[in-house]
Amino acid sequence: MSTIGVIGAGKWGEALAFAMSEKNEVMITSRTPREWPTFKSLDEVLQCRYLIITVPAQQIAQWLKENFIYDGQKILVAAKGIEASSGRFLNDIYADYVPKENLAFLSGPSFAIEVKQKLPTALVINSDSEETAREFASFFPSFIRTYTSSDVIGAEITGAYKNVIAIAAGICEGLHLGHNAAASLISRGLVEMHRFGKAYGAKEDTFLGLSGAGDLFLTASSSMSRNYRVGLGLAAGKTKEAVCEEIGEVSEGIGTAYALHEIALERGIYLPIAAEVYAILEGKSPRQSLKDLIER
């Protein structure tokens, strides 16, 4: 039995702590105390050899700078996104603090509520180190099927990009455009995600598997997804600020949409869906965006 520290007690952090506690001793910490049998201080949790960190992409650089001291820990990153202010991927941010062989990144279709219900789930542990990936994979309970992969950048891109497409899918649903439009949007979103990934050397198989198509189909087709709910709110004419306040949770797709906008401009990558999501977040009419997408 291993001792695992979970940092971040939002819905996903609590779900992972719940799942891991089936085979391991789990400590959990967050800024806000939770009713968890082994809720500990951050200092105590950081002493664990194995850590799962769910701190959001837009906050992690500052959090690491203020809180983290490397002491040989192995880390499973369980957040998804691209830093809006710099365009950096999570693996680049963490690499300033932790050797890459001690880093792994979690990907795949997974709603927290279903994990807590012990419903069958399949996930991918992505790492430059096969040993680290297999170690983290071994900690998961029997109702979660784990695969391992070395395509860290592919998992990063799919995990971040699918949230932007999920916002677009929520807008599509909010405008009552129908199932034909939704299927077209998601499939073209996968093509767009793949185009972006090719620019970074991501592997083809990643986009067709659990990390890519699997996570995209889940996140872009259900109101259980907070990014999908962001799209529903935008379609109703609400501002991004009002939508975020209403949801009350971090929606990584918003920050990622801003990051993709800057990267696309810098690198000349054609990302029409992401571009329109960015424009809508900036106040463009969703119906005008729809018209522009169809007529492009």
Strand-pair partners of 76: 52, 104
Is 162 one of the catalytic residues? Answer: yes
Distant-in-sequence, close-in-space partners of 244: CB < 8 Å, separation ≥ 6: 230, 251, 254
Instruction: Identify whether the C-beta of residue 206 lies closer than 8 Å to the C-beta of residue 197.
Output: yes
Longest dimension (CA), the chain: 58
Question: With 0-12 CB in 10 A as exposed, 13-18 as middle and 19+ as buried, what is 211?
Answer: buried
DSSP string, 187-205: HHHHHHHHHHHHTTT--HH
Task: Give the 3-state secondary structure percentages of the chain, helix then strand then coil, rounded to 5.
Answer: 55, 15, 35
Question: Strands, E, within the chain: which ranges?
Answer: 3-7, 25-29, 50-53, 74-77, 103-107, 121-126, 144-149
Q: Which of 74, 80, 162, 240 is catalytic?
A: 162
Residue with tokens 């306040």: 245
Q: What are the residue numbers of the active site?
A: 162
